[in-house]
Each structure stands twice: as structure tokens, then as C-alpha cells.
Structure 1
Amino acid sequence: MFVTTGQAGSALGCSIPTVKKLIGTGVVPGVRDAGRQVFPFSALQALQQRPAADLTAVGAGEVAVLRADAPARVDEPGREWIGFGTMLGAAQLLAGLNGWWRCAPARVAAAGVLPVTVAHFVVAVLTNLDDYDAQGEGRDARFRFTKARLAGYVTDLTAPVNAADPADPEDARVAGLLLGTRLVSVSGGPIAYVPTTTTADQPATEGE
């Protein structure tokens, strides 16, 4: 049984473009390639049951969230792709997610972890964010986290398992807590900031 992207969006609390973005990442198994009804109903049910992220274990007052798009090719030194997609390898994912973003880099680094979301679901987790490079100045400055690690990522959001093999036990612990959870954020750019004390109680509302 399948439903439309509009029906999936209504059930998940997001827009049709956001549902299409989620489909484009490859994390929803069984999606149809064409037609009006393309989103598997069983996958929709599984996503509705994903728990909200509990950020209290982060140990900071807020956590930055990278709101990623489906993968797109770029012509940039050091990477061929930007965004998140299951068709990318771990090295490609890390290169596509660790910058260049408009953000407050010290604020991003403060929590020690950067969850990556698509349609309010955590699909990857970056850690080791203390070092960063800058490009541009003032309001136009963008930042890349030069020593970031990919602590984890998922290839199937309906049954999330860490597809990475983090060597650091803390990376593995944090990724295990966050991957596949629902983490609502609202921002006009790629980086949002979420209070860690209220996240678990937030409803699924449109913000992408």
C-alpha cells in the first residue's frame, strides 16, 4: 500500500517538497519511482513511531542542527557532493556535510555534536568540531569544520542502524542516542539552534 507525498507530509508534519527531499536521500526503502502514490504506507507508519531526540545527555544548553538537503554535485576543492544521501560513501558524506555553512562556529562546537537532519529526522551525526576554517568576512562568512568526524549515519530510516564504525566510544554512544530520532528545528538557513531541555517535547511542525 502506498500514499501520496501530500498524505505523507500531512502525517509527518512537513511539506511536500520536504517529503520529496527525504525520498531523494534514499533513506526510505520501497519508494516507487513514478506515479501519484509513491510513499510506502509501512514506511510512513515506521517514521511516525520514531521517538523525539532526547538531548539532555549532550551536556550543553543548546545543540546546533545541520538541516541537510538531498545530495547534489558541486565543483569544489575537496568534495564532489554536498548534502546527505545513502548513495554516498562515508568519506563523501563527511566532505559534503562539514561545511561551508553560515553559522556561529563556536556556538556549533560548544555542544561537541552536530546532528544532521532531513525532514526533522536525524540521518547523520558529526563530532570533533573544535577546529574550523573561515571563508569570507562578516555576515557573508562561511565555516568548515576541518577535523570533524562522521560518528554515524543511517541508510534506512525506518529501521535505523549506524552504518559507520566509529573508533571513539563516545562517538558511538552519541550516534546511538540520536540516529533515527525526530529533531524539530526551524531556521532560515542550514544551521539551526535547538534548546536541549525542550527538544523531546516538541511536536513535529513544519520548519524545512
Structure 2
Amino acid sequence: MFVTTGQAGTALGCSIPTVKKLMATGVVPGVRDTGRQVFPLAALQALQARPTAHLAALGPAEVAVLRSDAPAKVDEPDRDWIGFGTGLDQTQLLTALSGWWRCDPARVAAGAVLPVTVAGFVVAVLTGLTAWESDGTAGTTGRHRFTGARLAGYLTDLTAPANAAAPTDPEDTRLAGLLLGTRLPSVSGGPIAYVATRPAAAGRPATEGEQA
């Protein structure tokens, strides 16, 4: 049984384009892309039941969130893809997700973890954010890439979340287990948002970024 993308968007609290973006990543099994796009009812019910991320367990008062798009091919010297998709291997995913963004790199690094979301669901987790390089542009328009980033986890099926990576660091394993498959809402005009992990910090405004 299927529902329309409009019905799925209403149930998940997002727009039709956002639902289609989620479908294009490959993390929702059983979607029908030929002809009229439809969303499996069983998958929709599974996504509605996903818990909200328990951010207070992370430690820092704030974490950055990468609001990813579906995968897109690019012609760049250091990567072939940007965005998230289950058709990419781990190396492709890491290079696609670890930069280049407009952001405050020190602020991103201070959170120690970078959840990657599509339609408000965490589909991947990056760690190892302590080192970065910049494109040389001064001020807030500069773009940055995290050169030591690790792919602590990612999903191939959002309806039955299981880490498709095999992290060797115990903390990476903990963070991926805590975040993968959860709902993590964020607000930003670009890919990078900053989310308070505790209510006392909730008044801090989001900072916008832009992905290359």
C-alpha cells in the first residue's frame, strides 16, 4: 500500500520536495520512482515512529548539523560527488560530506560530531573534526573542509536503522548508535545549522551556511 508524496510530507511535517529528496537518497525501501512517485505506507509509519535525537547525551552545549541533499555528480579535483546517497561507497560518502561549506570551522569542531540529516533524519555521522583547511576567502564567506573527518556511521535503510560502517573507535560507535536514524530538526538557510543540545542554550540563533 502506498501514499502520495504530499500525504507523506504532511505526515512527516515537511514539503513535497523534501520528501522527494529523501526518496532520492535511497534510504527508504520500496519507493516507486517510475510514473507517479509514491511512498510505501509501511515505510512512512516506520519513519513516524523514529525517536528524536537525545542531544543532551553528546556533551557539548551545541552541535553543528549538515543538512544534506541527495547525491549529485560534480567535477572537482578532490571529489566526484556531493550529498548523501546509498549508492555511494564509504570513501565517496566521506569526501562528499566532509566539505566544502561556509561555516565557522572552530564552532563545528567544538561539537566533536557532525550529524548528517536528510529531511530531518540522521542518515550519517562524521567525527574527527579537529583539523580543517580553508579556501583562502576571508570572513564568513570562506569555505572549509575537515581534512581528518571520519565516517563513524551511515544508513542504507532508514526504516530499520543499522550502521553500515564498522567504526573502530569506541566513541565513534557510541555516537553513531546514539544518532543514526533519529529525528533531528534544524533551521538554516544553508547546509550547516547549529543546534543547542540543552534547553538552556536553545535561544542561540541558527547560523547559515552554503555548500559548494
TM-score range, shorter chain: over 0.9
Q: 1:34 offset after TM fit, Å?
A: 2.3
Distance, in Å, in 2 between the alignment partners of 1:124 and 1:161 is 11
Q: Which residue of 2 aligns with 1:87?
A: 87
Distance, in Å, in 2 between the alignment partners of 1:37 and 1:26 is 14
Q: Give the 5 Å matches for 1:11-22.
A: 11-22=11-22
Q: Give the 5 Å matches for 1:71-150.
A: 71-135=71-135, 136-150=137-151
Q: 1:168 offset after TM fit, Å?
A: 0.5
Percent of pairs identical after alignment? 74
**Larger RCO: Structure 1 or Structure 2 (Cα < 8 Å, ≥ 6 residues apart)?**
1
Q: Which residue of 2 aligns with 1:38?
A: 38
Q: 1:57 offset after TM fit, Å?
A: 1.4
Distance, in Å, in 1 between the alignment partners of 2:104 and 2:113 is 14
Q: 1:78 offset after TM fit, Å?
A: 1.6
Check conservation: 1:2, 1:37, Cα contact below 8 A: no
The one-character-per-residue Cα deviations of 1:5-40 (angstroms, maximum 9, x if unpaired) are 110000000000000000000000000122435100
Aligned length: 199
Distance, in Å, in 2 between the alignment partners of 1:77 and 1:50 is 38
The one-character-per-residue Cα deviations of 1:128-181 (angstroms, maximum 9, x if unpaired) are 101000012223200000000000000000000000000101100100000000
The one-character-per-residue Cα deviations of 1:159-205 (angstroms, maximum 9, x if unpaired) are 0000000010110010000000000000001100011014xxxxxxx
Question: Displaced runs of 4+ in structure 1, greater than 6 A?
Answer: none
Check conservation: 2:131, 2:147, Cα contact below 8 A: yes
Q: Which residue of 2 aligns with 1:201?
A: none
1:101/1:37 CA distance change after superposition, 3 Å? closer
Q: 1:111 offset after TM fit, Å?
A: 1.3
Distance, in Å, in 2 between the alignment partners of 1:79 and 1:6 is 34
Distance, in Å, in 2 between the alignment partners of 1:181 and 1:145 is 24
Distance, in Å, in 1 between the alignment partners of 2:37 and 2:145 is 39
Check conservation: 2:155, 2:164, Cα contact below 8 A: yes
| Structure 1 residues without counterparts, runs of 5 or longer | 199-208
Distance, in Å, in 2 between the alignment partners of 1:128 and 1:173 is 14
Check conservation: 1:3, 1:37, Cα contact below 8 A: no
The one-character-per-residue Cα deviations of 1:62-82 (angstroms, maximum 9, x if unpaired) are 110000000000011121000
The one-character-per-residue Cα deviations of 1:91-119 (angstroms, maximum 9, x if unpaired) are 00000000000001000010100000000
TM-score (norm 2): 0.92
Check conservation: 1:133, 1:144, Cα contact below 8 A: yes
SS at match of 1:193: strand
TM-score (norm 1): 0.94
Residue 171 in 1 paired to residue 167 in 2?
Answer: no
| Structure 2 residues without counterparts, runs of 5 or longer | 200-212
SS at match of 1:106: helix
